[in-house]
Amino acid sequence: MGKLHFKPYEFLSQLDIATSLIISADSYDATVATSTDFGKLVQEIPAAVLYPSSADDIVKLVNFSNNGVSVPYGIAARGHGHSVRGQAMAPNGVVVVMNSLKNNNMNEIRVSWDPILEFGYADVGGEQLWVHVLHATLEHGLAPVSWTDYLYLSVGGTLSNAGISGQTFRYGPQISNVLEMDVITGKGEFMTCSKHTNSELFFAVLGGLGQFGIITRARIVLEKAPTRVKWVRVLYADFSKFTNDQEQLISIDGMDYVEGSLMMNQSPPNNWRSSFFSHSNQSKILSLISKYAIIYCLEMVKYYDDQSANTVDEELHKMMKGLNFLSGHIFKKETTFVDFLNRVKKGELKLQSKGLWDVPHPWLNLFVPKSSIVDFNDGVFVDIILRQNKTTGPILVYPTSRIRWDDRMSVVIPEEETFYCVGLLHSCGFNDCESLDGQNEEILNYCEKNDLKIKQYLPHYTTKEAWMNHFGKKWKVFQQRKSQFDPKMILSPGQKIFN
Protein backbone atom coordinates (compact mmCIF):
# COMPACT_ATOMS: atom_id res chain seq x y z
CA MET A 1 0.00 0.00 0.00
CA GLY A 2 1.46 3.35 -1.05
CA LYS A 3 1.99 6.44 1.02
CA LEU A 4 0.64 9.89 0.17
CA HIS A 5 2.41 12.93 1.63
CA PHE A 6 0.44 16.12 1.17
CA LYS A 7 -0.47 19.68 2.02
CA PRO A 8 -4.06 20.32 3.21
CA TYR A 9 -5.82 20.50 -0.14
CA GLU A 10 -9.41 19.28 -0.11
CA PHE A 11 -9.00 16.86 -3.01
CA LEU A 12 -6.23 15.06 -1.14
CA SER A 13 -8.40 14.00 1.75
CA GLN A 14 -10.95 12.79 -0.78
CA LEU A 15 -8.20 10.94 -2.61
CA ASP A 16 -7.11 9.15 0.55
CA ILE A 17 -10.64 7.95 1.23
CA ALA A 18 -11.16 6.87 -2.36
CA THR A 19 -7.90 4.97 -2.85
CA SER A 20 -6.95 3.70 0.62
CA LEU A 21 -3.53 5.33 0.32
CA ILE A 22 -1.78 6.07 3.59
CA ILE A 23 -1.50 9.75 4.51
CA SER A 24 1.73 10.62 6.30
CA ALA A 25 2.43 13.60 8.52
CA ASP A 26 5.82 14.60 7.12
CA SER A 27 4.27 16.40 4.19
CA TYR A 28 6.55 19.43 4.20
CA ASP A 29 9.78 17.51 3.68
CA ALA A 30 8.23 15.36 0.96
CA THR A 31 6.79 18.23 -1.07
CA VAL A 32 9.88 20.41 -0.77
CA ALA A 33 12.18 17.53 -1.73
CA THR A 34 10.28 17.03 -5.00
CA SER A 35 9.81 20.73 -5.75
CA THR A 36 13.16 21.09 -7.52
CA ASP A 37 15.48 18.97 -9.66
CA PHE A 38 19.07 18.62 -10.82
CA GLY A 39 18.87 21.92 -12.67
CA LYS A 40 18.11 23.88 -9.48
CA LEU A 41 16.55 26.52 -11.74
CA VAL A 42 12.85 25.97 -11.08
CA GLN A 43 10.84 25.36 -7.93
CA GLU A 44 7.25 24.15 -8.14
CA ILE A 45 5.64 22.94 -4.92
CA PRO A 46 3.33 19.94 -5.43
CA ALA A 47 0.20 19.50 -3.37
CA ALA A 48 1.17 15.90 -2.66
CA VAL A 49 3.83 13.27 -3.15
CA LEU A 50 2.89 9.65 -3.78
CA TYR A 51 5.25 6.83 -2.82
CA PRO A 52 3.59 3.91 -4.63
CA SER A 53 4.02 0.32 -3.53
CA SER A 54 2.66 -0.99 -6.84
CA ALA A 55 1.53 0.15 -10.25
CA ASP A 56 -2.03 -0.17 -8.99
CA ASP A 57 -1.42 2.76 -6.61
CA ILE A 58 -0.55 4.93 -9.61
CA VAL A 59 -3.61 3.71 -11.51
CA LYS A 60 -5.81 4.71 -8.57
CA LEU A 61 -4.18 8.14 -8.43
CA VAL A 62 -4.72 8.81 -12.13
CA ASN A 63 -8.28 7.50 -12.09
CA PHE A 64 -9.20 9.73 -9.18
CA SER A 65 -7.86 12.79 -11.00
CA ASN A 66 -10.00 11.82 -14.01
CA ASN A 67 -13.20 10.94 -12.16
CA GLY A 68 -13.05 11.88 -8.48
CA VAL A 69 -12.64 15.67 -8.55
CA SER A 70 -14.29 18.50 -10.40
CA VAL A 71 -10.96 19.89 -11.63
CA PRO A 72 -8.32 17.26 -12.51
CA TYR A 73 -4.94 17.68 -10.81
CA GLY A 74 -1.63 17.22 -12.58
CA ILE A 75 0.53 14.15 -12.05
CA ALA A 76 4.25 13.85 -12.76
CA ALA A 77 6.40 10.73 -12.50
CA ARG A 78 9.79 11.43 -10.94
CA GLY A 79 12.68 9.05 -11.56
CA HIS A 80 16.10 10.26 -10.39
CA GLY A 81 15.05 13.92 -10.60
CA HIS A 82 17.75 14.68 -13.15
CA SER A 83 15.69 17.07 -15.27
CA VAL A 84 16.96 20.62 -15.42
CA ARG A 85 13.91 22.87 -15.86
CA GLY A 86 11.07 21.35 -13.88
CA GLN A 87 10.00 18.72 -16.41
CA ALA A 88 9.17 16.20 -13.64
CA MET A 89 7.27 18.62 -11.42
CA ALA A 90 3.56 18.98 -10.72
CA PRO A 91 2.70 22.42 -9.34
CA ASN A 92 -0.26 21.99 -6.96
CA GLY A 93 -0.58 18.44 -8.25
CA VAL A 94 0.95 15.09 -7.28
CA VAL A 95 4.52 13.93 -7.86
CA VAL A 96 4.91 10.14 -8.05
CA VAL A 97 8.27 9.03 -6.68
CA MET A 98 8.91 6.03 -8.89
CA ASN A 99 11.86 4.78 -6.86
CA SER A 100 9.35 3.70 -4.22
CA LEU A 101 8.41 0.79 -6.50
CA LYS A 102 11.98 -0.45 -6.33
CA ASN A 103 12.02 -0.02 -2.56
CA ASN A 104 8.99 -2.28 -2.40
CA ASN A 105 10.70 -4.92 -4.58
CA MET A 106 7.87 -4.83 -7.10
CA ASN A 107 9.97 -4.67 -10.26
CA GLU A 108 13.07 -6.82 -10.26
CA ILE A 109 15.30 -6.89 -13.34
CA ARG A 110 14.60 -10.12 -15.22
CA VAL A 111 17.03 -11.26 -17.92
CA SER A 112 16.19 -13.59 -20.83
CA TRP A 113 18.60 -14.99 -23.45
CA ASP A 114 18.19 -17.40 -26.33
CA PRO A 115 21.62 -18.96 -26.99
CA ILE A 116 20.54 -20.34 -30.38
CA LEU A 117 19.23 -17.07 -31.75
CA GLU A 118 21.77 -15.10 -29.70
CA PHE A 119 18.98 -12.73 -28.77
CA GLY A 120 18.17 -11.41 -25.34
CA TYR A 121 16.31 -8.79 -23.36
CA ALA A 122 15.81 -7.51 -19.85
CA ASP A 123 12.45 -6.66 -18.32
CA VAL A 124 13.16 -3.59 -16.24
CA GLY A 125 11.00 -1.43 -13.99
CA GLY A 126 10.65 2.13 -15.21
CA GLU A 127 12.00 3.31 -11.85
CA GLN A 128 15.26 1.35 -12.16
CA LEU A 129 18.50 3.25 -12.73
CA TRP A 130 20.59 2.27 -15.75
CA VAL A 131 23.58 1.51 -13.54
CA HIS A 132 21.52 -1.18 -11.82
CA VAL A 133 20.43 -2.55 -15.20
CA LEU A 134 24.09 -2.75 -16.20
CA HIS A 135 25.15 -4.74 -13.16
CA ALA A 136 22.12 -7.05 -13.25
CA THR A 137 22.62 -7.94 -16.91
CA LEU A 138 26.38 -8.35 -16.57
CA GLU A 139 25.72 -11.19 -14.14
CA HIS A 140 24.54 -13.06 -17.26
CA GLY A 141 27.39 -11.83 -19.46
CA LEU A 142 24.98 -9.45 -21.24
CA ALA A 143 24.37 -5.71 -21.44
CA PRO A 144 22.18 -3.14 -23.20
CA VAL A 145 23.76 -1.60 -26.29
CA SER A 146 22.74 2.05 -26.02
CA TRP A 147 23.58 4.27 -23.06
CA THR A 148 23.62 7.76 -21.65
CA ASP A 149 26.94 9.21 -20.48
CA TYR A 150 25.61 9.24 -16.90
CA LEU A 151 24.15 5.95 -15.65
CA TYR A 152 22.32 7.22 -12.57
CA LEU A 153 19.19 8.06 -14.56
CA SER A 154 15.92 6.15 -14.50
CA VAL A 155 14.85 3.92 -17.38
CA GLY A 156 11.47 5.65 -17.60
CA GLY A 157 13.10 9.07 -17.56
CA THR A 158 15.51 8.50 -20.44
CA LEU A 159 12.91 6.66 -22.53
CA SER A 160 10.61 9.67 -22.15
CA ASN A 161 13.27 11.77 -23.88
CA ALA A 162 15.50 9.57 -26.08
CA GLY A 163 18.63 8.51 -24.20
CA ILE A 164 21.73 9.46 -26.19
CA SER A 165 25.48 9.01 -25.98
CA GLY A 166 28.46 8.06 -28.12
CA GLN A 167 26.87 4.71 -29.06
CA THR A 168 23.82 6.34 -30.68
CA PHE A 169 25.33 6.47 -34.19
CA ARG A 170 25.66 2.68 -34.17
CA TYR A 171 22.73 1.39 -32.12
CA GLY A 172 20.37 4.34 -32.10
CA PRO A 173 19.12 6.09 -28.95
CA GLN A 174 17.80 4.07 -26.04
CA ILE A 175 14.24 4.49 -27.35
CA SER A 176 15.27 2.53 -30.47
CA ASN A 177 16.22 -0.45 -28.31
CA VAL A 178 12.92 -1.10 -26.53
CA LEU A 179 10.77 -4.11 -27.43
CA GLU A 180 7.79 -3.66 -25.14
CA MET A 181 6.47 -1.51 -22.30
CA ASP A 182 3.85 -1.48 -19.57
CA VAL A 183 2.34 1.99 -19.41
CA ILE A 184 -0.30 3.73 -17.28
CA THR A 185 -2.02 6.22 -19.55
CA GLY A 186 -3.49 9.56 -18.57
CA LYS A 187 -6.89 7.87 -18.56
CA GLY A 188 -5.74 5.46 -15.86
CA GLU A 189 -5.50 2.46 -18.17
CA PHE A 190 -2.72 -0.07 -17.57
CA MET A 191 -1.60 -1.19 -21.04
CA THR A 192 1.13 -3.37 -22.49
CA CYS A 193 2.39 -1.99 -25.78
CA SER A 194 4.93 -2.77 -28.48
CA LYS A 195 5.41 -2.17 -32.21
CA HIS A 196 2.67 -4.72 -32.86
CA THR A 197 0.37 -4.36 -29.83
CA ASN A 198 -1.13 -0.97 -28.93
CA SER A 199 1.52 0.45 -31.25
CA GLU A 200 0.16 4.00 -31.22
CA LEU A 201 0.76 4.20 -27.47
CA PHE A 202 4.18 2.56 -27.84
CA PHE A 203 5.44 5.14 -30.32
CA ALA A 204 3.76 8.00 -28.47
CA VAL A 205 5.44 7.25 -25.15
CA LEU A 206 8.96 6.82 -26.56
CA GLY A 207 10.37 10.32 -26.59
CA GLY A 208 6.95 11.60 -25.54
CA LEU A 209 8.17 13.75 -22.62
CA GLY A 210 5.86 11.92 -20.21
CA GLN A 211 2.74 13.35 -21.90
CA PHE A 212 0.95 10.10 -22.69
CA GLY A 213 1.77 7.59 -20.00
CA ILE A 214 3.91 6.54 -17.05
CA ILE A 215 6.33 3.72 -17.90
CA THR A 216 6.29 0.99 -15.25
CA ARG A 217 8.18 -1.66 -17.24
CA ALA A 218 10.37 -1.69 -20.34
CA ARG A 219 11.82 -4.63 -22.23
CA ILE A 220 15.36 -3.64 -23.25
CA VAL A 221 17.45 -5.24 -26.01
CA LEU A 222 20.61 -7.03 -24.80
CA GLU A 223 23.75 -8.31 -26.46
CA LYS A 224 26.75 -10.21 -25.17
CA ALA A 225 28.82 -7.81 -23.10
CA PRO A 226 32.48 -7.00 -23.75
CA THR A 227 34.84 -6.89 -20.80
CA ARG A 228 37.32 -4.16 -21.69
CA VAL A 229 37.71 -1.08 -23.91
CA LYS A 230 40.42 0.69 -25.86
CA TRP A 231 39.79 4.38 -25.27
CA VAL A 232 41.45 6.96 -27.54
CA ARG A 233 41.35 10.75 -27.77
CA VAL A 234 42.90 12.85 -30.54
CA LEU A 235 43.07 16.64 -30.84
CA TYR A 236 42.29 19.17 -33.58
CA ALA A 237 42.68 22.89 -34.06
CA ASP A 238 40.59 22.83 -37.25
CA PHE A 239 36.85 22.31 -36.77
CA SER A 240 36.22 21.00 -40.31
CA LYS A 241 38.89 18.32 -39.97
CA PHE A 242 37.42 17.40 -36.58
CA THR A 243 33.86 16.97 -37.90
CA ASN A 244 34.98 15.26 -41.12
CA ASP A 245 36.85 12.65 -39.08
CA GLN A 246 33.89 12.14 -36.75
CA GLU A 247 31.61 11.60 -39.73
CA GLN A 248 34.08 9.15 -41.25
CA LEU A 249 34.20 7.09 -38.05
CA ILE A 250 30.41 6.79 -37.76
CA SER A 251 30.14 5.76 -41.42
CA ILE A 252 32.33 2.65 -41.07
CA ASP A 253 31.80 -0.60 -39.22
CA GLY A 254 33.67 -1.39 -36.05
CA MET A 255 33.83 1.63 -33.75
CA ASP A 256 31.60 1.28 -30.67
CA TYR A 257 31.57 4.83 -29.37
CA VAL A 258 32.29 8.25 -30.91
CA GLU A 259 31.96 11.57 -29.14
CA GLY A 260 33.66 14.95 -29.27
CA SER A 261 34.21 17.91 -26.99
CA LEU A 262 35.69 21.38 -26.84
CA MET A 263 38.64 22.48 -24.75
CA MET A 264 39.21 26.13 -23.93
CA ASN A 265 40.23 28.18 -20.94
CA GLN A 266 36.75 27.99 -19.46
CA SER A 267 36.32 24.29 -20.33
CA PRO A 268 39.56 22.49 -19.37
CA PRO A 269 40.88 19.10 -20.61
CA ASN A 270 39.73 17.15 -17.56
CA ASN A 271 36.26 17.70 -16.12
CA TRP A 272 33.59 15.83 -14.18
CA ARG A 273 32.69 13.70 -17.22
CA SER A 274 36.06 11.92 -17.04
CA SER A 275 39.58 12.52 -15.76
CA PHE A 276 41.27 11.09 -18.84
CA PHE A 277 44.47 13.08 -19.23
CA SER A 278 47.56 12.80 -17.04
CA HIS A 279 49.05 15.92 -15.44
CA SER A 280 51.81 16.12 -18.06
CA ASN A 281 49.31 15.71 -20.91
CA GLN A 282 47.12 18.44 -19.46
CA SER A 283 50.08 20.83 -19.54
CA LYS A 284 50.68 19.90 -23.18
CA ILE A 285 47.04 20.54 -24.06
CA LEU A 286 46.90 23.85 -22.20
CA SER A 287 49.74 25.13 -24.33
CA LEU A 288 47.70 24.25 -27.42
CA ILE A 289 44.71 26.10 -26.01
CA SER A 290 46.90 29.16 -25.44
CA LYS A 291 47.92 28.99 -29.09
CA TYR A 292 44.55 28.24 -30.74
CA ALA A 293 41.96 29.36 -28.13
CA ILE A 294 39.77 26.33 -28.90
CA ILE A 295 40.91 22.72 -29.23
CA TYR A 296 38.51 20.04 -30.46
CA CYS A 297 38.84 16.58 -28.95
CA LEU A 298 37.61 13.49 -30.79
CA GLU A 299 36.92 10.58 -28.45
CA MET A 300 36.54 7.00 -29.67
CA VAL A 301 36.21 3.59 -28.04
CA LYS A 302 36.57 0.03 -29.26
CA TYR A 303 35.16 -2.77 -27.10
CA TYR A 304 36.87 -6.13 -26.77
CA ASP A 305 37.12 -9.29 -24.66
CA ASP A 306 39.56 -12.17 -24.21
CA GLN A 307 38.72 -13.64 -27.62
CA SER A 308 39.41 -10.40 -29.51
CA ALA A 309 42.27 -9.08 -27.35
CA ASN A 310 44.93 -10.11 -29.88
CA THR A 311 43.31 -8.28 -32.80
CA VAL A 312 41.76 -5.16 -31.24
CA ASP A 313 44.83 -2.94 -31.70
CA GLU A 314 45.08 -3.80 -35.39
CA GLU A 315 41.34 -3.17 -35.90
CA LEU A 316 41.54 0.17 -34.14
CA HIS A 317 44.57 1.20 -36.20
CA LYS A 318 42.73 0.43 -39.45
CA MET A 319 39.68 2.46 -38.40
CA MET A 320 41.85 5.44 -37.45
CA LYS A 321 43.85 5.39 -40.68
CA GLY A 322 43.56 8.70 -42.50
CA LEU A 323 42.35 10.77 -39.56
CA ASN A 324 43.65 14.34 -39.72
CA PHE A 325 44.30 15.17 -36.08
CA LEU A 326 47.25 17.22 -34.82
CA SER A 327 50.42 15.19 -35.18
CA GLY A 328 51.63 13.75 -31.90
CA HIS A 329 48.41 14.51 -30.06
CA ILE A 330 46.95 11.05 -29.61
CA PHE A 331 46.18 9.76 -26.12
CA LYS A 332 45.28 6.17 -25.27
CA LYS A 333 43.84 4.41 -22.27
CA GLU A 334 42.59 0.93 -21.44
CA THR A 335 39.96 0.21 -18.85
CA THR A 336 37.11 -2.14 -18.04
CA PHE A 337 33.78 -1.92 -19.83
CA VAL A 338 32.05 -1.07 -16.54
CA ASP A 339 34.51 1.65 -15.56
CA PHE A 340 34.18 3.26 -18.98
CA LEU A 341 30.38 3.30 -18.92
CA ASN A 342 30.33 4.55 -15.32
CA ARG A 343 33.10 7.11 -15.80
CA VAL A 344 30.99 10.12 -14.80
CA LYS A 345 30.32 8.78 -11.30
CA LYS A 346 33.89 9.48 -10.17
CA GLY A 347 33.53 13.08 -11.23
CA GLU A 348 30.21 13.36 -9.40
CA LEU A 349 31.73 12.04 -6.16
CA LYS A 350 34.62 14.48 -6.44
CA LEU A 351 32.26 17.43 -6.97
CA GLN A 352 30.01 16.29 -4.13
CA SER A 353 33.00 16.25 -1.77
CA LYS A 354 33.62 19.90 -2.68
CA GLY A 355 29.94 20.91 -2.51
CA LEU A 356 29.90 21.60 -6.27
CA TRP A 357 27.40 18.99 -7.49
CA ASP A 358 24.12 20.24 -6.04
CA VAL A 359 24.36 23.59 -7.78
CA PRO A 360 22.35 25.12 -10.64
CA HIS A 361 22.80 23.52 -14.06
CA PRO A 362 21.47 25.78 -16.84
CA TRP A 363 22.11 23.18 -19.52
CA LEU A 364 21.33 23.62 -23.19
CA ASN A 365 21.14 20.49 -25.36
CA LEU A 366 20.61 20.74 -29.09
CA PHE A 367 20.43 18.69 -32.26
CA VAL A 368 22.19 20.58 -35.07
CA PRO A 369 21.91 19.49 -38.74
CA LYS A 370 25.16 18.61 -40.48
CA SER A 371 24.64 21.45 -42.97
CA SER A 372 24.57 23.97 -40.10
CA ILE A 373 27.35 22.68 -37.87
CA VAL A 374 30.13 24.87 -39.34
CA ASP A 375 27.97 27.98 -38.96
CA PHE A 376 27.12 26.83 -35.43
CA ASN A 377 30.81 26.56 -34.62
CA ASP A 378 31.55 30.02 -36.03
CA GLY A 379 28.60 31.75 -34.42
CA VAL A 380 28.29 29.88 -31.12
CA PHE A 381 31.57 28.21 -30.14
CA VAL A 382 33.99 30.76 -31.59
CA ASP A 383 31.91 33.91 -31.16
CA ILE A 384 29.37 33.74 -28.34
CA ILE A 385 31.02 31.26 -25.97
CA LEU A 386 34.66 32.18 -26.52
CA ARG A 387 33.90 35.90 -26.53
CA GLN A 388 31.73 35.92 -23.42
CA ASN A 389 34.06 33.61 -21.49
CA LYS A 390 31.29 32.36 -19.20
CA THR A 391 31.18 28.62 -19.75
CA THR A 392 31.92 26.45 -16.73
CA GLY A 393 31.44 22.85 -17.73
CA PRO A 394 31.89 20.35 -20.56
CA ILE A 395 30.84 21.18 -24.11
CA LEU A 396 29.98 18.13 -26.22
CA VAL A 397 29.59 17.89 -30.00
CA TYR A 398 29.31 14.62 -31.92
CA PRO A 399 27.39 13.26 -34.93
CA THR A 400 24.74 10.61 -35.23
CA SER A 401 22.66 9.14 -38.04
CA ARG A 402 18.93 9.62 -38.57
CA ILE A 403 18.60 6.06 -39.89
CA ARG A 404 18.90 4.78 -36.30
CA TRP A 405 15.79 6.74 -35.21
CA ASP A 406 12.16 5.78 -35.82
CA ASP A 407 10.10 8.73 -37.05
CA ARG A 408 6.93 7.21 -35.60
CA MET A 409 8.20 8.06 -32.13
CA SER A 410 7.32 11.38 -30.53
CA VAL A 411 10.87 12.68 -30.29
CA VAL A 412 11.81 15.42 -32.76
CA ILE A 413 15.13 15.46 -34.63
CA PRO A 414 16.46 17.42 -37.64
CA GLU A 415 15.43 16.33 -41.12
CA GLU A 416 18.95 15.64 -42.38
CA GLU A 417 20.51 12.17 -42.46
CA THR A 418 23.42 13.25 -40.24
CA PHE A 419 23.02 15.64 -37.35
CA TYR A 420 25.07 16.63 -34.32
CA CYS A 421 24.31 16.28 -30.64
CA VAL A 422 25.54 19.40 -28.85
CA GLY A 423 25.56 19.67 -25.08
CA LEU A 424 26.45 22.86 -23.20
CA LEU A 425 26.65 21.35 -19.72
CA HIS A 426 26.97 24.46 -17.59
CA SER A 427 27.12 24.58 -13.83
CA CYS A 428 27.22 27.77 -11.81
CA GLY A 429 26.63 29.48 -8.51
CA PHE A 430 23.11 30.46 -7.56
CA ASN A 431 23.86 34.09 -8.44
CA ASP A 432 25.26 33.32 -11.90
CA CYS A 433 22.27 31.54 -13.49
CA GLU A 434 20.82 34.63 -15.09
CA SER A 435 24.04 35.32 -16.98
CA LEU A 436 24.33 31.78 -18.36
CA ASP A 437 20.64 31.67 -19.21
CA GLY A 438 21.18 34.88 -21.13
CA GLN A 439 23.96 33.20 -23.07
CA ASN A 440 21.68 30.25 -23.83
CA GLU A 441 19.04 32.65 -25.11
CA GLU A 442 21.59 34.41 -27.30
CA ILE A 443 22.61 31.04 -28.78
CA LEU A 444 19.00 30.12 -29.55
CA ASN A 445 18.36 33.54 -31.08
CA TYR A 446 21.45 33.19 -33.28
CA CYS A 447 20.28 29.79 -34.49
CA GLU A 448 16.80 31.11 -35.29
CA LYS A 449 18.05 34.28 -36.99
CA ASN A 450 20.41 32.27 -39.19
CA ASP A 451 17.88 29.50 -39.87
CA LEU A 452 20.15 26.71 -38.61
CA LYS A 453 17.10 24.45 -38.19
CA ILE A 454 18.19 23.13 -34.79
CA LYS A 455 15.96 21.15 -32.44
CA GLN A 456 16.21 21.22 -28.67
CA TYR A 457 16.93 17.94 -26.89
CA LEU A 458 15.40 17.91 -23.39
CA PRO A 459 13.26 20.76 -24.76
CA HIS A 460 12.02 23.70 -22.74
CA TYR A 461 9.63 26.35 -24.04
CA THR A 462 7.28 28.82 -22.36
CA THR A 463 4.59 29.30 -25.04
CA LYS A 464 2.33 27.00 -27.00
CA GLU A 465 3.52 28.61 -30.24
CA ALA A 466 7.12 27.68 -29.41
CA TRP A 467 6.09 24.08 -28.70
CA MET A 468 4.19 23.93 -31.98
CA ASN A 469 7.28 25.19 -33.80
CA HIS A 470 9.43 22.61 -32.02
CA PHE A 471 7.24 19.68 -33.08
CA GLY A 472 6.65 21.08 -36.56
CA LYS A 473 4.90 18.52 -38.75
CA LYS A 474 4.57 16.19 -35.73
CA TRP A 475 2.47 18.67 -33.74
CA LYS A 476 -0.86 17.49 -35.13
CA VAL A 477 -0.07 13.84 -34.28
CA PHE A 478 1.26 14.87 -30.86
CA GLN A 479 -2.04 16.66 -30.13
CA GLN A 480 -4.09 13.70 -31.34
CA ARG A 481 -2.13 11.33 -29.12
CA LYS A 482 -2.68 13.63 -26.16
CA SER A 483 -6.43 13.58 -26.79
CA GLN A 484 -6.35 9.80 -27.13
CA PHE A 485 -4.25 8.88 -24.09
CA ASP A 486 -4.54 11.87 -21.73
CA PRO A 487 -7.62 13.86 -22.75
CA LYS A 488 -7.85 15.78 -19.46
CA MET A 489 -4.19 16.79 -19.75
CA ILE A 490 -3.18 15.33 -16.40
CA LEU A 491 0.30 13.97 -17.06
CA SER A 492 3.62 15.85 -16.89
CA PRO A 493 2.31 19.39 -16.36
CA GLY A 494 5.85 20.57 -15.65
CA GLN A 495 6.65 20.41 -19.35
CA LYS A 496 4.06 23.17 -19.87
CA ILE A 497 3.11 21.95 -23.32
CA PHE A 498 -0.66 21.86 -22.91
CA ASN A 499 -1.04 23.54 -19.52
Q: What positions carry a catalytic annotation?
A: 82, 149, 259
Taking a C-beta distance cutoff of 8 angstroms, is the pair 229, 353 a contact? no
Measured CA to CA, the distance from residue 208 to residue 484 in angstroms comes to 14
For residue 78, the Cα-to-chain-centroid distance in whole angstroms is 14
Measured CA to CA, the distance from residue 415 to residue 472 in angstroms comes to 11
Measured CA to CA, the distance from residue 313 to residue 328 in angstroms comes to 18
Determine whether 497 is exposed, middle or buried from the number of CB atoms within 10 Å of its CB (0-12, 13-18, 19+). buried
Tell which residue, 246, 227, 174, has the closest CA to residue 341. 227
Q: How far is CA 282 from CA 265, 268, 331, 353, 365, in A?
A: 12, 9, 11, 23, 27
- Cα–Cα–Cα angle for 203, 208, 212, rounded to 5 degrees: 85
Measured CA to CA, the distance from residue 450 to residue 379 in angstroms comes to 9
Residue 458: CB atoms within 10 Å: 19
- In the DSSP assignment, the letter for residue 440 is H
Tell which residue, 304, 294, 225, has the closest CA to residue 260. 294
Q: Going by DSSP bridges, is the β-strand pair 75-78/94-97 parallel, antiparallel, or unpaired?
A: parallel
Handedness of CA 457, 461, 464, 465 (dihedral sign): negative
